[in-house]
Amino acid sequence: MGDETASESGEDPEVTPVPEAGLPGSDQTEPRSPGESAFDPVRLTLLAMVVAWSVLFILLTSLRHDRFGTFGFDLGIYDQGIWLTSRLHDPFVTVRGIDLYGHHFNVVFLLFAPFYWLGAGPHFLLAVQVVAQASGAVAVYLLARDRFDGARWLAVAMAAVLLLNPTYQYLAWEFFHPDALSIAPLLFAYWAAREKRWGWFAVAGSLAIICKEDVALALFVIGALVWFRGDRRIGALVAGLSAAWFMLATRVFIPAFNGIGPFYDSFFGEFGDGPGEVVKNVLTRPGQVWETATRQDRTSYYWRMGAPFAFVFLAAPRALLVGAPMFAVNVLTSFPYARDPRFHYASLVLVGITVATVEAIAALGRDSATRGFLVGVVLAASLATSILWGAAPWSVDYDRGIWPLRTDARNEVKAEAVDLIPTRAPTSAIYNLVPHLTHRDRIYEFPVPWCNVNWGVRGENLDDPAGVEWIAVDVNLLGAADRRLLDDLLEREFEVRLDSEGILVAERVSPTGDPAVACLSAGG
């Protein structure tokens, strides 16, 4: 029986597809085989999709960066942190005012450091994320192929569903985030666990968990599913190691690096300031949970995440649990961006929805016709929502400003401004110049370090402005308070070296004044 109940009961039989005579090339006649030709049309189609998606979004993300459409938060944060790591400098990220590993525990960055010895930077990070995301389509193909009894063309269609997904496209648009890097290895890990390929599972799971501490929650659930499906020793080991990693990362390593503690606990104001208190209040205040979960921004979030999959995943609730921990966080947190499907907070939720969709089709599609119909419904939903909500050339928002498709004469002046600032000189710059200036020990987002804006956890230990040697800003993007601060600094401490088209670069020529007075005078 192909339903989920049977497949997840621990008695999941091995299914060997039997070719049907007279139907060459049909999905039902193509059993899984190590000897499949690398040049068969199925693989060529899958490869073409992955390569085309990679090339498209590498070009778009590179264009966005080159035209100054990327920001200090978060591309500049990660680029400076990895550059510092590669140089064996203290990885204290001055874009954010916090140690790189006190922000999130992204051990994967150690693998990037050697590339920075060779000159890697923002373009490298953007390209790596795009390629990593594109490879997730291969994992979906493998999972769907094996769960659909070798129906390879249907598996290709499911790979296309992921690449068409609006959230998946916007993850590339939203600069660089380790959450997005973790999607493909998590998908591979789920497939490997389903097929009991434990060597591949160990590799994929290890790569996923070092991307970010939150990934351990998804791997914990995968371990529980492995236990439930009958491999109890392996399942218990995976779940135990994942839980231990999460606790060490969030309760030991991150607090040790930032000197403050697990500050993300404060993002659940309505339910408490720590995991124990949050869990307790969620369990004892069901009415408040319901009221929170049914607010308009939450229901919109559910719709935007579920519609691209036609909500078929609801038929596979156990697989859906893979994304449940992060889904609960996104719903209950007071941080509004967590419920925007365009941002990286949706990454792990998307993994759960994707694998659950494949499992649901496998469970509901008891014959090839039903399975093909369900895949068609999901593919149509993904295409429609990709057009309505996506970030690709076929999407309605594509030429509405989400990508800098039109040239801006001021970009030449911005490039001149970046080139004018000496290598490694401590600099305070406007947010869209910061990612072009991050390969130095000290780079700040103006008006930092004169004023505390998004610095540290609670604004602690703000750097001394006396160390800033250069300022680079787009005057058109400054608020009134920041303009007053800039005028004060130009009058007392800095001299203009470039002033064109609203782009201003200034060099320090006098010692600093009282930073508190300077910030106060600007209304900071």
pLDDT of residue 217: 96
pLDDT of residue 36: 56
For residue 369, give both structure tokens: 């016709």
| H or E element that contains 92 | strand 92-93
**Among all chains, which residue has been given the structure tokens 């930092």?**
448
Helix 77-86 vs helix 109-117: crossing angle, to nearest 10: 70
**Among all chains, which residue has been given the structure tokens 């007075």?**
517
Report how far residue 371's alpha carbon sits from residue 378's, in angstroms, rounded to the nearest whole number: 11
| Cβ proximity of 46 and 137 under 8 Å | yes
Side by side, the strands of the sheet bearing 470-474 are 443-445, 427-429, 470-474, 503-508, 494-500
Report how far residue 394's alpha carbon sits from residue 483's, in angstroms, rounded to the nearest whole number: 40
| Cβ proximity of 218 and 348 under 8 Å | yes
| H or E element that contains 427 | strand 427-429
| H or E element that contains 444 | strand 443-445
pLDDT of residue 518: 58
Report how far residue 319's alpha carbon sits from residue 470's, in angstroms, rounded to the nearest whole number: 53
Q: What is the DSSP track for 345-403? A: GGHHHHHHHHHHHHHHHHHH--SHHHHHHHHHHHHHHHHHHHHHH--STTSTTIIIIIS
pLDDT of residue 370: 97
Report how far residue 269's alpha carbon sits from residue 524's, in angstroms, rounded to the nearest whole number: 26
Residue 90 CB contacts under 8 Å (≥ 6 apart), including other chains: 84, 99
pTM: 0.90
| Cβ proximity of 441 and 89 under 8 Å | yes
Residuewise pLDDT in 10s, the chain (524 residues): 344 444 443 334 443 343 333 333 334 444 444 445 658 999 999 999 999 999 999 999 999 999 999 999 999 999 999 999 999 999 999 999 999 999 899 999 999 999 999 999 999 999 999 999 999 999 999 999 999 999 999 999 999 999 999 999 999 999 999 999 999 999 999 999 999 999 999 999 999 999 999 999 999 999 999 999 999 999 999 999 999 999 999 999 999 998 887 777 777 778 877 777 888 888 899 999 999 999 999 999 999 999 999 999 999 999 999 999 999 999 999 889 999 999 999 999 999 999 999 999 999 998 999 999 999 999 999 999 999 999 999 999 999 999 999 989 899 999 999 999 999 999 999 999 999 999 999 999 999 999 999 998 888 889 999 999 999 999 999 999 999 999 999 999 999 999 999 999 999 999 876 654 556 544 44
| Cβ proximity of 401 and 64 under 8 Å | no
The C-alpha torsion from 210 through 214 and 219 to 222, rounded to 10°, is: -160
Residue 433 CB contacts under 8 Å (≥ 6 apart), including other chains: 68, 414, 417, 418, 472, 473, 474
